[in-house]
Structure formats: structure tokens, C-alpha cells
Amino acid sequence: MSGILNSSIGRKFAMALSALFLMVFLLQHFAINILSVFSADAFNTASHFMGTFWAVQFILQPILIFGVIFHFVMGFVLEIKNNKARKVSYAKNKGSANSTWMSRNMLLTGAVVLAFMVLHFIDFWIPEINTKYIVGDMSGMHNGEFRYFHELVEKFHSPLRVGAYIVSFVLLSLHLLHGFNSAFQSIGANNKYTKGLKGFAKVYSIGIPLGFIFIALFHHLTGH
């Protein structure tokens, strides 16, 4: 593993795999959260399953946390190395004129997304861990009732928090627009399916963050 990460191609490949893994998680996370718009009971049931099923809690959750840390650390390493290489390239051929804002600012958008994830963990994950493992209620219930939907709605009462979520998801969309295509290129997905993959990347990169923004605004404006 260390040998692979010592090479530029190896780091990019590992970065791409971690990105694709996190994209699958993001899609699954959205699929559960959108239920809150249509049915509190359906959202509670899905959240309860994800919050108590042993395989999710003790296998997938640690893998996810490792994937998040690995992706962002590797992203910072790659971006720093790329910036050093660009300094020479830009001085010679004005490379910045041939690159997009997104490609030049992946470190910035990544840092904002990371800050959002910290906020998200504080809002939802840490209270859940406290309820299940410190308070000691492994059933996923609080005072005899599911708490998932109630806590979700409570978090979106504050316009400042909703605003922070919206800004974060806009930058996540920009991050994904560039990162998705880079991930496929890094793993060698450059063939007859490339056009279709790029189309899917655009739909995913815009649609999923927009969906999360809709969820936040819905609960903020309706209060339920």
C-alpha cells in the first residue's frame, strides 16, 4: 500500500477509488434523507435501521470514517504537489488560462466540504453516539420515541445553519463536477462510455447537492 501511495499515479488512483466510494455513500445518504420530506415514519424507520444494524455500525461506519479522512488527506497532498508543479507551468504557458476555476480550487472547495462534514457530525452523528453508547439506549430510541425526524427538523430551524448548509452544498457541487471526471480518468475509464459517464457526472454533481438543499429549505420553511 505504501509503495502505491509513493507514486503519483498510485496516489491519484487511490484518491479516485476513495472518491467513488464516498459518492456511493452520498447517494445512499440522500436516499434516506429525502424520505423525511414525504414521511416521518419512513425516515425514522430507515434511520433506525442504519443506526442500529451491526454491520453498518461496526463495519461500514468505520470504513466510511477512514474513507473520509483518507480522501481529504490525500486530496490535500495531491493539491499541494499540483500547485508546486503549476507554478512552473503557469509561468511558461499561462496554464491558468487553460484550466477551470474548479480544477484550480479543489483545495478550497474540499476544505469547505470538510468543514461542513465536521458541522454535520456535530449536529447528528455525535448526538446519536451519545444516545446509544453513553446514555446507553442501543434501541435507537429516546424517551420511548424515535428521535431522528424530530432532531432533523430542529437543526433546520436556524437560518444561519441552513445558509451554511446551502453554501456547503453549492461548493460540494463544484467539487464533484471536477472530481467526478478526474476520478474516472484516474482509473482509466476513458472509452466509448466516457460521454455517458460525463453526462451522469453532471446530473449527479448538480442533482444530489440540489436535493440536499431542497431538504434543508423544505424543513426550514415548513417547520416539519
Average confidence (pLDDT) over 132-150: 67
Q: In angstroms, rounded to a whole number, what is the distance separating the alpha carbons of residues 223 and 208? A: 22
Per-residue pLDDT tens over the stretch 27-53: 999 999 999 999 999 998 898 888 888
Average confidence (pLDDT) over 161-186: 81
| pLDDT for position 21 | 83
| pLDDT for position 7 | 66
Query: Whole-model pTM above 0.75?
Result: yes
Q: In angstroms, rounded to a whole number, what is the distance separating the alpha carbons of residues 162 and 219? A: 10
Percent of the chain scoring above 90 in pLDDT? 17
| pLDDT for position 190 | 61
- Residue span of the structural domain in which 12 resides: 2-222
Rama region for 94: left / alpha / beta (φ>0; ψ in -120 to 50; rest) = left
| pLDDT for position 105 | 66
Does the pLDDT value for residue 152 go beyond 60? yes
Per-residue pLDDT tens over the stretch 100-135: 666 666 677 777 777 878 887 777 777 777 777 776
Average confidence (pLDDT) over 16-28: 84
State the pLDDT confidence band at 159, using cuts at 50, 70 and 90.
Answer: very high
18, with CB counted inside 10 A (0-12, 13-18, 19+), is buried
How many domains is the chain built from? 1
| pLDDT for position 83 | 67
| pLDDT for position 36 | 94
> For the chain, how far is it from start to end, CA to CA, in angstroms?
47
Per-residue pLDDT tens over the stretch 59-112: 888 888 888 888 888 877 777 776 666 655 555 555 555 566 666 666 777 777
Answer positive or negative: Cα dihedral of 159, 223, 121, 104: negative
